[in-house]
Each structure stands twice: as C-alpha cells, then as structure tokens.
C-alpha cells in the first residue's frame, strides 16, 4: 500500500492535478525566470564589483562559491525534509530570503557583506529549486521530461536576461540600482503564494502522513542505486563545471582576448544563456521521445568537438560555437534529473535537491578553482583546460535501460 501511494503521489495522476497542469507549469516557469534572473545578476555584476572593491579573479570566484555552495549544501536537506513534511508556502518564504539578499547586495559596503548577500540569495535558491521541481512533477500529467524542461527553461531565460539587465540598467547606474531588481522578487513571492495554495490542495493524504517516503526505490539494490546516481553525478560534473567557467568568466575572456567593451561582452553572454534556454526546452521534449540515455549521449559527448575548438576561434566563431555548446549541454539536465527520479522514486524532493544542489556546488567550486587558475595562467588557459570536460560523457555507457533494470531485480523483491 505504501508503494502504491508513493507512486501515485509522484506521478500526480489525479484529474484535478492534470487539469491544472498548464497554468501551474507556466507560473512555475515564470517564477523560475524571476529567480534565476536575480541569480544571474551576481556574475553579470562582477566587472562592477571588481572595479569598486579592487577584487582579483580568485575573490570573484569565491563570490560564486558563497552563493552556489550555500545552495548546494541546503538543497538536498530541504528536499529530504519536505519529502516527509510538505511545506506548500516554503517557496514564497525562500524567495523572501532572496529579496533580503538582493537588497543587502545593493548597499554592501565591503567584500564580506557581498559574500553574506550572495549566501542569502543562495539560501533562497536552496528552497526554491527542489520544491518547485516537485510541484512541476506533480503537474506534469506523466510527461516528466517535458515538465522539467518547461520548468527549467524559465530559469534559463532568466539567466539569459540577467546579464542584459546588468549591462543596460544596473551597471550604468551603479551598485544602488541592484535594489530595483527587488521588484522581481516581490512579484515572484505573489505567484509562489498562489502556487503554494495549489500545492497544498493537491498533496495526497499519504504525503501528509509521511507514507510517501517508504522509498519504493528498494526494488533496486542499494549498491546498484548508488552506482547509477554516481554516474549521473559525474555527467552533471562534466556539464556544470564547463558551464560555470563560461557564465562566470566569459565576459572577462571576451574583453581580454578580443578587446570587446563590457556591454558587448554581456550581449554575447546573453546569447549563450539564450542558447541554454532553447537547448533545455528541446532537451525535455527529446528526452520524452528518444529516451533518457540517448539524450545524455547526444548532449554531453556531442558537445566535445565544439568545446575543443572554442579556445582557438575568432570572435565570430566564438559566438557560433558557444550557441552550439549551449544548445547541446543544456539538453542533458532534464534527462539526467528524470533518470535520477526513476532510480530513486518516492524521493522527488531529495533527488531534485541533491541534483540541483550538486549542480550549484559544482558551479561554485569550479568557479573558485577556475578563478585561481585564471590568476595564475590567464583566462585563455582556463578555457583550454575546460574544453576536455565533455570527455566524461563516456560514462553514460554504464547507464542501463531502467525498465529492463527493474525487471532484472523484480524476482528478488517479489
């Protein structure tokens, strides 16, 4: 009975949930847009902070680390807790932390306060991502890949718009103009409160009592389950460390190598982030059509020739290659996340928090490491080094067909 309840809870099959799927998914995607717009403002403002506070590249990387490490440590914890104790209005509360961090960032008088503000924004993300991912799955109507991609594309669009917002609104007016972006957090709080009401109305009785967490993933042996999660983490590592090197230092790379002005470099970053948004949406649809494993192969390993060529391209081909890389790499995340949900059904919040958190943590550690290497050897060296990361996509060979995998172990658990 517990297993059946958990499956029902995670597929969100009741007619009322299916009928409300589209407006809920649209609202979630819009809030993800606002949330990640705020997040992307942080790296887009690095040139401002670098000049204002005389920071080196290592300190720039540590700002990313403060934001992303906070999110990475808290997200699995939030997901684990809310699997057992659903909190429909935690989404709006988490966005409140983002609002406070944003306002603090606008008046930060020192580098230390910038780190605190970044940590508060990271805390907001730690609450938002696992819970919003859970609601997206509840509202999916069974099309899990497409629902996760639609939810994710809002965030990708926010990440794309953030650099433009910084380049044309915040940077010309200085640090205090960051406070203007607080309107985005306030709007998100209003929408997330309404989503919280829908979420609360569609929580199954078994979820409220905690029965949904009896862990139906036990049909796979624990060792096998850990092995598959590790493979998925390696794939996420290859994707996110490379992506972090682009999002954190791409503007500096373009300025240093091609002598582009700051605004032109921010526009190039916007183009790359827009490609990520399109790639995520396409990846979700193709994941439901082609399957998780083929999509992961195409996405990560398929980007390798283009990442290897990027450090040697001129300014035109740099733009073209980053579009292709963004399209390919972004299409992997919906497939990886849905695959992980299949490996550990009944742990939607924990798995989503773990993978979103791991993605943030990898991005933060990668940014700090790449900043240190950039100080020692230059930005161009960082891009040459990172170009080999998609080779790790070869580990997708070890991912099985999950239907066959469960049939293999079914006699053991029967």
Q: If you write DSSP's letter for every residue of 159-211 in order, what string do you get? A: HHHHHHHIIIIIHHH-GGGGGGGHHHHHHHHHHHHHHHHHHHHT--HHHHHTG
pLDDT at residue 361 in the model: 66
pLDDT for res 41: 80
**Rounded CA separation 36/288 (Å):** 25
User: At a CB cut-off of 8 Å and minimum separation 6, what does 262 contact?
Assistant: 47, 167, 171, 251, 255
Residue 411, pLDDT score = 52
Contact yes or no for 380/253 (Cβ under 8 A): yes
Predicted pLDDT of residue 4: 37
| Angle, alpha carbons 11-154-236 (nearest 5°) | 70
- For 214, counting Cβ atoms within 10 Å of its Cβ (0-12 exposed, 13-18 middle, 19+ buried), the class is middle
pLDDT of the residue at 309: 92
Q: Which residues contact 48 (CB under 8 A, 6 or more apart)?
A: 166, 170, 171, 174, 175
The architecture of the domain spanning 2-413 is Up-down Bundle (1.20)
Nearest to 329 by CA among 283, 385, 271, 284: 283
* Whole-number Å distance between alpha carbons of 60 and 46: 7
Cβ atoms of residues 168 and 263 within 8 Å:
yes
Residues of the chain with pLDDT under 50: 1-20, 206, 209-218, 412-414
If DSSP codes are grouped into helix, strand and coil, which group holds residue 214?
Answer: coil
Look up residue 31 and give its two tokens.
Answer: 């809030």
Encoding tokens for residue 71? 């999110």
Nearest to 63 by CA among 251, 227, 248, 274: 248
Q: Which of 363, 358, 76, 143 is nearest to 231 (CA)?
A: 358
> Quick check: 58 and 375 in contact, CB under 8 A?
yes
Q: Output the six-digit token pair for 84.
A: 């057992």
Query: Rounded distance, CA 11 to CA 17, Å?
Result: 10
Query: Which of 254, 395, 352, 391 has its CA nearest to residue 32?
Result: 352
Phi, psi of 331 (to 5 degrees): -70, -10
Euclidean distance between CA atoms 88 and 238, whole angstroms:
33
């Amino acid at each position: 009975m517990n297993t059946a309840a958990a499956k029902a809870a995670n597929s969100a099959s009741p007619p009322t949930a299916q009928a409300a799927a589209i407006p809920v998914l649209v609202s979630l995607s819009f809030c993800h847009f606002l949330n990640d717009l705020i997040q992307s403002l942080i790296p887009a403002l690095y040139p401002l902070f670098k000049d204002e506070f005389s920071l080196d590249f290592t300190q720039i990387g540590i700002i990313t680390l403060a934001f992303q490490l906070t999110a990475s440590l808290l997200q699995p914890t939030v997901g684990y807790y809310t699997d057992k104790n659903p909190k429909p209005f935690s989404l709006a509360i988490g966005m409140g932390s983002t609002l406070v961090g944003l306002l603090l960032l606008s008046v930060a008088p020192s580098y230390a306060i910038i780190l605190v503000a970044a940590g508060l924004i990271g805390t907001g993300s730690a609450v938002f991502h696992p819970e919003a991912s859970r609601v997206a799955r509840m509202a999916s109507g069974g099309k899990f890949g497409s629902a996760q991609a639609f939810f994710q594309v809002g965030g990708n669009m926010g990440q794309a718009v953030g650099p433009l917002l910084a380049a044309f609104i915040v940077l010309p007016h200085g640090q205090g103009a960051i406070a203007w972006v607080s309107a985005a957090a306030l709007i998100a709080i209003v929408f997330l409160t309404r989503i919280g009401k829908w979420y609360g109305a569609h929580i199954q009785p078994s979820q409220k009592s905690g029965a949904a967490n009896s862990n139906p993933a036990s049909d796979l042996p624990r060792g096998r389950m850990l092995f598959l999660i590790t493979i998925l983490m390696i794939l996420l590592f290859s994707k996110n460390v490379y992506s972090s090197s682009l999002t954190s230092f791409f503007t500096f790379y373009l300025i240093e190598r091609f002598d582009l002005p700051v605004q032109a470099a921010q526009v190039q970053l916007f183009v790359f982030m827009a490609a990520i948004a399109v790639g995520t949406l396409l990846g979700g649809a193709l994941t439901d059509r082609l399957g998780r494993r083929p999509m992961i192969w195409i996405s990560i390993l398929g980007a390798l020739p283009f990442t290897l060529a990027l450090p040697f391209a001129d300014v035109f081909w740099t733009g073209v290659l980053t579009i292709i890389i963004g399209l390919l790499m972004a299409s992997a995340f919906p497939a990886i996340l849905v695959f992980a949900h299949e490996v550990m059904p009944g742990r939607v919040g924990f798995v989503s928090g773990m993978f979103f958190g791991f993605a943030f943590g990898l991005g933060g550690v990668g940014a700090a490491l790449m900043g240190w290497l950039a100080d020692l050897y230059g930005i161009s060296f960082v891009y040459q080094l990172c170009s080999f990361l998609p080779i790790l996509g070869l580990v997708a060979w070890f991912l099985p067909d999950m239907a066959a995998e469960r049939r293999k172990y079914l006699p053991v658990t029967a």
